[in-house]
Structure 1
Amino acid sequence: MNKKTKIVATISDKNCGVPFLTDLFNSGMNAVRLNTAHQEPEDTLKVVRNVRKVSDRIAILLDTKGPEIRTNPTEKGLQVKKGDQVIVRGEPGKKSSGNTIYMSCEGLVNEIPAGSRLLIDDGDVELIVRSAEKDHLVCEAGNPGIILGRKSVNIPGIDINLPALNDRDREFVQLAIDENIDFIAHSFVRNKEDVIEVQEILDKQNSKVKIIAKIENQSGVNNIDEILDHAYGIMVARGDLAIEIPYSKIPGIQKMLIDKCIERRKPVIIATQMLHSMITNPRPTRAEVSDIANAIYSQTDAIMLSGETAYGSYPLESVITMASVAEEVEKTKDTINDIPVVVINNRISAFLIKAAVRAAVDLSAKAIIADTMSGRTIRGLSAYRGNKMVWAKVYDRRVVRELALSYGVNAHFMKPSETSHEFVQQAVNSLVRENVVKDSSLVVVIAGNFGHSTGASYVEIGTVKNLLREEA
């Protein structure tokens, strides 16, 4: 598998057998996403344990529900015609009935003025608020449809005062800590405080779980700089985002968010309906192929499958399709993302990182080899989106999985060497054994002589034969 763009696949406990996960991994899946909105803790644990039986290099992302609003359960849906009157009340736990829809957020009606729009189930039904009364909203259906229970509710342009975490979220955050899961993908992040609230729970237990902030509302877009100050990376969740924001603006916002993450050397995942038709069809549409290509040309680290792999009829075909499209698109990308140098550890390391990628591209090297303890140097190399794979030798198994979200990185665990010379010999020999390079292959090595905390201190370029002779 020669693709550099990473693939995240959403996996359900209903279809998470080890042979199935093995097939997905061998076909290009790099990370597994767990949607806790549709799972109980024991279901989540079932998937986690099976993923770990397949490979210790597969990252696991656990979604929280975050500050969301949903319709309350109902025995049967409310059928509405355009112009019908609907009463909306905020009262958790009460079943909707008649023409009254109850929603999960108490006090909701006090924050929504007349003229607002309530978009239910990804906008399938629009309710227009005609008047805001003391304990309810009087709404008018903007289109025909069925309002069902447990469906998402979006209110464009209105910031509802919701807690960043509910009790269920806290239960799953604790599960992530207990099970040493790699990432928490926190939903509906609006500002840095939403990220900090999760981080404080992690810090109290000295957890190394990293936070991926899901950007799916206008507030998240507006506050992206402060969010990136505190999150490991972001997911651009375009489903809710395209409801909260005019859909015509989504491509530009997607590109802006990718650029922000690259500038900060943080991974970015593009998500939602990338191969949606393959839930029921064995082949993608041309528009879906173009969507994948656009995300890759825009320099995303990763792309994500949701229903395609969680409950679709063609999950393996979806991963194979996404991987093959990615590999072909990457062949026609620019050979390097020629962005300014950004200091990560220190000024010397920052300049060496770009020099290593530039040298590998200009000299047509076969590979870049680098070592890391924290992943910072590797994420720096990844940001330049060079056309040469970065073979990361990592001294922490957890960091191996964290780098599963970084573009163009093939990470493997390696025990620390006594000297940089021993590191080069071991790293180059490992690529020889894997038939990645041969004696005549040119290799770029970036490493450090002054300890793991100081970052890279030198770049060495040579053929495999010469590098091994020098180290012998």
Structure 2
Amino acid sequence: MRTKIIATIGPSSANEEKLLALAKAGVNIFRLNFSHGNKDFFHSVISAIRNVQEKLGINLTVLQDLSGPKIRIGTLDVDSYQVQFGDVFYLGKEKVSDTYPFIPFEYEEVIKELKIGESLVLADGSLQFTVKECLGHGVLIESQSYGIITSRKGLAIPNKAINLPALTEKDIKDLAVGIELGVDAVALSFVQTPEDVILLRSKLKELGAEELPIVSKLERQMALDNLDRIIEESDMIMVARGDLGVECSLSLLPSIQKRIIKACNLAAKPVIVATQMLLSMVHANRPTRAEVTDVANAVLDGADCVMLSEETAMGEYPVETVSYMRKITAQAEEYFLTNNILKTPEYSCGLPEFLAYSACLLAEKANAHALVVHSRSGKSAFYLSSCRPKHAVYALTLSKNVLHKMNFAWGVSPYFVKDSQEPSHLVRVQDFVDEFALIPHGAKIVFTVGDQPPHLQAQGTNLVKIYTKQA
């Protein structure tokens, strides 16, 4: 199980029995969408996940997904509007006349930035409009499609930067709740600039949780313009294809996905592919051929994690969906590893990349059973993962935060080791191998650790070694 599976928890999956079944089927990370639910709900779910983790003796990660500044229309004064091509609506904060049907919209700063001829989309792209006239207090928008408008639908403005903070007041309150409940990672929605990530990190520091890893969700065009800098500031990246497919031309989405994944792989940062991966399984007990291909191609592109949303949150077959996803990823991994060739890092890369490459190359040449890394920050495990080795990677850490962080990395099985009187990472790794039942006696293992004399401060990974487990 090299590719990690993220499952969103909702009404279909919130009880401990179902969470246990999901974990057995292959879920590594449970996502809690803070756009829905309350503190009591999240507390019960997290408690149940911890119980499942203890029962199965495995590492499970809880991901808090903040709502972010999702732009929505308000509540209509009718049940819905039936939209025909060419229909004109008034979009604004307050109704000013009965000349045009009224769509309430409270974001005055967005209204002020709209220009005649610009495009708007509603309901995840199913309805398209153009701005016909700007009236100061609102705009007239003309329909370019057919459909139905209902209350609280999301609104997007393709190819336009939205001057809204990535962290809302609700997000800051939810963040404090998540930290109190013990989440293991935080996803930031609608990231546009690296400063958005820096702001979240400063809030985490204020709340005493600065070591929580941050997943930056890429959902806007501006994020693509700042891709490398956002990756640099983030711990992980999510290709959030729902809103991204609205912001950008839908036909460009596959190439955008590949571009983001490639950039994350080069930076040794885990990357998640999300949205509608097995959507038909919300109501069907098997996926479509196109969905199977989509999941497999995400793995072949280099995704570390694949994520389920509605499928496990409200679907009729959450466990079956995860089981199918695990089968698909396993087959894709087998094909990938059969054809994958270990790539030499670019000369411009740093020492950590070359050490990870050397460890993987040594494991191949020595026909090693596995790679074992001791990591304080998780970066060494990420570098090994980015090489996509054929060998199992066991990653040891003294930090519970890092343990859950490494759970996002492809091919990495993280293990928590308690601090001891023995300061040497090398000795700690050897002890782990000697006691670990999944590594047979006589097997060759490649270590990559930081090995400094006890009187010197730890300075990162500096040693690659072959070790044979004795009988």
TM-score, L = length of structure 2: 0.91
Alignment RMSD, CA only?
2.4
Alignment of 1:131-170 (within 5 A): 131-170=133-172
Separation (CA, whole Å) in 1 of partners of 2:169 and 2:461: 43
Please tell me whether residue 456 in structure 1 is matched to residue 461 in structure 2. Answer: yes
| Worse-superposed segment, 77-86 or 268-277 | 77-86
Partner of 2:16: 18
| Counterpart pick for 1:273 among 259, 266, 276 | 276
Partner of 2:124: 122
Separation (CA, whole Å) in 2 of partners of 1:30 and 1:162: 33
Separation (CA, whole Å) in 2 of partners of 1:453 and 1:121: 52
Go from structure 1 to structure 2 and tell me whether the alpha carbon gap of 1:339 and 1:244 turns closer, same or farther (over 3 Å shift).
Answer: farther
Deviation string 1:169-202 (CA, Å, 9 cap, x unpaired) is 1111111232332221111111112212212211
The residue type paired with residue 426 of structure 1 is D
- Number of aligned residue pairs: give it: 457
Q: Give yes or no for contact 2:176–2:207 (8 Å, CA) kept in 1.
A: no
- Unpaired runs of 5+ residues, structure 1, are none
Partner of 2:297: 294
Separation (CA, whole Å) in 1 of partners of 2:429 and 2:188: 39
SS in 2 for 1:38: coil
Q: Give yes or no for contact 2:12–2:315 (8 Å, CA) kept in 1.
A: no
Partner of 1:172: 174
Deviation string 1:214-236 (CA, Å, 9 cap, x unpaired) is 00111011111221232111100
The residue type paired with residue 359 of structure 2 is A
Separation (CA, whole Å) in 2 of partners of 1:144 and 1:337: 51
Separation (CA, whole Å) in 2 of partners of 1:188 and 1:350: 30
Separation (CA, whole Å) in 1 of partners of 2:81 and 2:130: 16
Sequence identity percentage: 33
* Structure 1 position 14, deviation (Å): 5.7
Go from structure 1 to structure 2 and tell me whether the alpha carbon gap of 1:420 and 1:223 turns closer, same or farther (over 3 Å shift).
Answer: closer
* Structure 1 position 421, deviation (Å): 5.6
Alignment of 1:103-114 (within 5 A): 103-114=105-116
Alignment of 1:22-421 (within 5 A): 22-55=20-53, 57-74=59-76, 75-90=78-93, 99-207=101-209, 208-333=211-336, 334-340=339-345, 347=351, 349-416=352-419, 418=422, 419-420=424-425
Separation (CA, whole Å) in 1 of partners of 2:132 and 2:417: 63
Separation (CA, whole Å) in 1 of partners of 2:63 and 2:99: 37
TM-score, L = length of structure 1: 0.91
Deviation string 1:140-162 (CA, Å, 9 cap, x unpaired) is 22222111111111111222221
* Structure 1 position 458, deviation (Å): 2.3
Runs of 4+ in structure 1 displaced over 3 angstroms? Answer: 334-337, 341-344, 419-422
Q: Give yes or no for contact 1:89–1:108 (8 Å, CA) kept in 2.
A: no
| Worse-superposed segment, 351-360 or 240-249 | 351-360
SS in 1 for 2:35: helix
Separation (CA, whole Å) in 2 of partners of 1:353 and 1:455: 12
| Worse-superposed segment, 448-457 or 357-366 | 448-457
| Worse-superposed segment, 157-166 or 279-288 | 157-166
SS in 2 for 1:70: coil
* Structure 1 position 416, deviation (Å): 3.4
Go from structure 1 to structure 2 and tell me whether the alpha carbon gap of 1:444 and 1:320 turns closer, same or farther (over 3 Å shift).
Answer: same
SS in 2 for 1:368: strand
SS in 1 for 2:280: helix
- Unpaired runs of 5+ residues, structure 2, are none
